[in-house]
C-alpha cells in the first residue's frame, strides 16, 4: 500500500521583534546558514512532495535569499498578509496541499531539528491522526504546556499567557512541530478561534479539538532537547550556535579526529575530516570543505571551501579560501591562499606568502614574503623572499609561467605576461619583463658603485 504524499509547511512569517534587527529573524544565521535554511535542509531527506514556506515580514528578502537554493523548485512561498497566529498561517498553505496528504508543520526559528527526528514523526502517522513533538524541560517558562487527562492521554496544549498557575507547573512543553492528515487538519482549523490573550488563531488549539473528537494523538520526543530550541533573541541565537558547534565537534572526535579544545572550533556548513587529523584551537572551517587523513591544522586558521589531502600541514594563523592542497603540502604560518590556488604534492608555502589563482606543481617552494598570482609554477622550483608576480597592469590580469627547477632570487619582480623556462635562474633584485630561456642566468639590475668622500646628511639643529 502506497504512502500518502508528504507536504511540509514551514512558518516563517514573524517579524522577530526581540532580535532588534532590520533583517527578518529567519535570515539570521547559525553556523553560517540561515535559520530557515537549516529547517529546509532538515526537511529535504524526508523526500516531501513540496515544502510550503509561509512568509510575511520581509517576504521579498526571504524569497530572494532562497531563489538560488539548490532545491528552489521544491519551495512554494505562501504569503500571510496579516500575521494572525500560527493556525491562520497554516491555513494559508492548505489550498496548495492535496486532501490525502500528510502535513508536517515546522517553525523556521527552530534550526537544530534533525531529519531523523522528523522522520520518526512522519512514520508515526501510520497509526495516528495527529502527532506532536514534545520535550520535558526544567524551565518551561514562556512555552506552551502539554495537558493530559486522567489516562495520561494528550488532551491539549495551553500557551504560557493563557495557562493557569497549576498548568504552568507542567514541564512537558510543545515544540511547535506537529504532524497531521490534511483532510482532518482542515476540519480542525475551521473550529479554532482567537478567544485568547493574544487574540490570535493558535495552531496548537487543533490538539484539544482532535482530543474532543476522539482522534488518536501521540507524542514523540527528540534525542536531545536542543533540537527544539527556538530562537527569539540574540542570546538564544548564540546558545543555538554553541549547541550546534558542540554537536559538530563531538561528531568529528568520534570519527577519529583530535580536537584540542572543542569549545574553540567553529564548523560552518558541510565539513569532513579524516582520521588522525589534529585541529588546534581557534580554528574556523567553512564548508563545503574536505580534509584528509593525518592533516594538522594549527591555531587561529580559517579554512573556507577547500580540499586538503592527506598528510598536509596548515601552520598557525593561515587563511585558506577555495584552495586545493595535495598530499604532504605545508602552508604557513601566516600564509594566505586565495581562490583558485592549487598546490601539488609536498609544496611548501611559507610565512607571509599570498597565492591567488595559481598552480604550484609538486615540490615547489615559496617560503617567505612573496606574492604569486595568476601563475603556473613548475615542479621543484624555488621562489625566493619578496618575489612578486606583477599580474595586473591597471586594467587587465596577465599570466606568469615558471617552468620546472627554476630558482627565482629574492626581491624579484616578474612583470606578466612572462615565461621563465625550465632550469633558469633569476638573480636577486631583478625586474624581468621578457621571457627567459632554459638553464640561463637572467639578471636585471643597476651596477653597484661606490662614491668616495660621501657625506651623510645630518639633522639640522632648530
DSSP state of 456: P
Residue partners of 170: CB distance under 8 A and separation at least 6: 140, 145, 146, 147
The C-alpha cell that represents 218 in the structure block: 501521540
Place of cell 524551565: 139
- The label of the residue with cell 617560503 reads 367
**Contact between 446 and 431 (Cβ < 8 Å):** no
- Contact by Cβ (8 Å): 111, 39: yes
Count the residues in the chain: 462
Would you list the DSSP string of 131-174? EEEEEE-S--TTSPEEEE-TTS-EEEEE-GGG--TTGGG--EEE
Q: Sign of dihedral through CA atoms 287, 288, 293, 296?
A: negative
Burial of 307 (0-12, 13-18, 19+ CB in 10 A): middle
Catalytic residues: 368
CA distance 67 to 58: 14
Helix (H) or strand (E) holding 277: none
| Integer Cα distance of 12 and 365 in angstroms | 52
* H helix or E strand, kind and range, residue 37: helix 35-43
Distance from C-alpha of 340 to C-alpha of 329, rounded to nearest angstrom = 16
Strands (E) across 328-454 are located at: 330-331, 336-337, 341-343, 348-351, 354-360, 365-368, 371-377, 382-383, 388-390, 400-402, 407-408, 413-415, 418-420, 425-426, 431-432, 441-442
Amino acid at each position: 500500500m502506497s504512502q500518502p504524499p508528504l507536504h511540509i509547511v514551514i512558518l516563517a512569517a514573524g517579524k522577530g521583534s526581540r532580535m532588534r534587527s532590520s533583517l527578518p529573524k529567519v535570515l539570521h544565521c547559525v553556523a553560517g546558514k540561515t535559520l530557515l535554511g537549516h529547517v529546509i535542509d532538515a526537511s529535504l531527506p524526508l523526500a516531501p512532495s513540496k515544502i510550503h514556506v509561509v512568509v510575511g515580514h520581509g517576504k521579498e528578502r526571504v524569497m530572494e535569499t532562497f531563489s538560488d537554493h539548490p532545491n528552489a523548485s521544491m519551495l512554494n512561498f505562501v504569503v500571510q498578509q496579516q500575521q494572525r497566529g500560527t493556525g491562520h498561517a497554516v491555513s494559508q498553505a492548505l489550498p496548495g496541499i492535496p486532501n490525502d496528504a500528510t502535513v508536517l508543520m515546522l517553525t523556521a526559528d527552530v534550526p537544530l531539528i534533525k531529519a531523523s527526528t522528523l522522520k520518526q514523526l512522519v512514520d508515526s502517522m501510520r497509526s495516528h491522526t495527529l502527532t506532536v513533538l514534545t520535550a520535558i524541560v526544567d524551565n518551561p517558562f514562556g512555552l506552551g504546556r502539554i495537558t493530559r487527562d486522567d489516562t495520561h492521554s494528550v488532551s491539549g496544549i495551553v500557551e504560557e499567557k493563557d495557562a493557569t498557575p497549576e498548568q504552568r507547573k507542567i514541564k512537558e512543553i510543545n515544540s511547535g512541530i506537529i504532524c497531521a492528515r490534511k483532510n482532518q487538519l482542515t476540519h480542525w482549523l475551521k473550529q479554532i478561534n482567537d478567544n485568547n490573550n493574544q487574540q490570535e488563531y493558535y495552531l496548537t488549539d487543533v490538539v484539544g479539538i482532535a482530543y474532543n473528537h476522539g482522534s488518536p494523538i501521540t507524542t514523540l520526543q527528540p534525542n536531545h532537547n536542543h533540537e527544539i530550541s527556538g530562537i527569539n533573541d540574540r542570546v538564544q541565537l548564540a546558545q543555538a550556535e554553541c549547541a550546534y558547534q558542540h554537536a559538530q565537534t563531538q561528531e568529528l572526535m568520534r570519527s577519529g579526529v583530535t580536537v584540542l579544545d572543542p569549545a574553540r572550533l567553529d564548523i560552518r556548513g558541510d565539513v569532513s575530516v579524516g582520521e588522525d587529523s589534529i585541529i588546534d584551537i581557534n580554528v574556523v572551517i567553512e564548508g563545503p570543505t574536505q580534509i584528509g587523513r593525518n592533516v594538522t591544522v594549527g591555531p587561529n586558521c580559517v579554512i573556507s571551501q577547500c580540499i586538503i589531502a592527506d598528510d598536509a600541514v596548515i601552520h598557525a594563523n593561515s587563511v585558506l579560501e577555495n584552495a586545493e592542497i595535495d598530499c604532504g603540502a605545508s602552508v604557513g604560518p601566516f600564509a594566505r591562499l586565495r581562490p583558485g590556488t592549487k598546490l601539488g604534492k609536498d609544496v611548501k608555502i611559507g610565512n607571509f606568502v599570498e597565492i591567488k589563482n595559481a598552480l604550484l606543481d609538486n615540490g615547489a617552494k615559496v617560503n617567505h614574503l612573496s606574492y604569486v598570482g595568476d601563475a603556473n609554477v613548475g615542479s621543484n622550483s624555488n621562489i625566493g623572499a619578496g618575489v612578486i608576480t606583477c599580474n595586473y597592469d591597471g586594467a587587465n590580469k596577465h599570466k606568469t609561467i615558471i617552468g620546472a627547477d627554476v630558482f627565482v632570487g629574492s626581491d624579484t619582480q616578474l612583470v606578466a605576461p612572462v615565461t621563465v623556462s625550465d632550469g633558469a635562474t633569476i638573480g636577486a633584485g631583478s625586474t624581468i619583463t621578457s621571457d627567459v630561456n632554459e638553464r640561463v642566468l637572467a639578471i636585471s639590475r643597476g651596477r653597484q658603485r661606490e662614491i668616495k668622500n660621501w657625506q651623510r646628511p645630518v639633522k639640522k639643529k632648530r
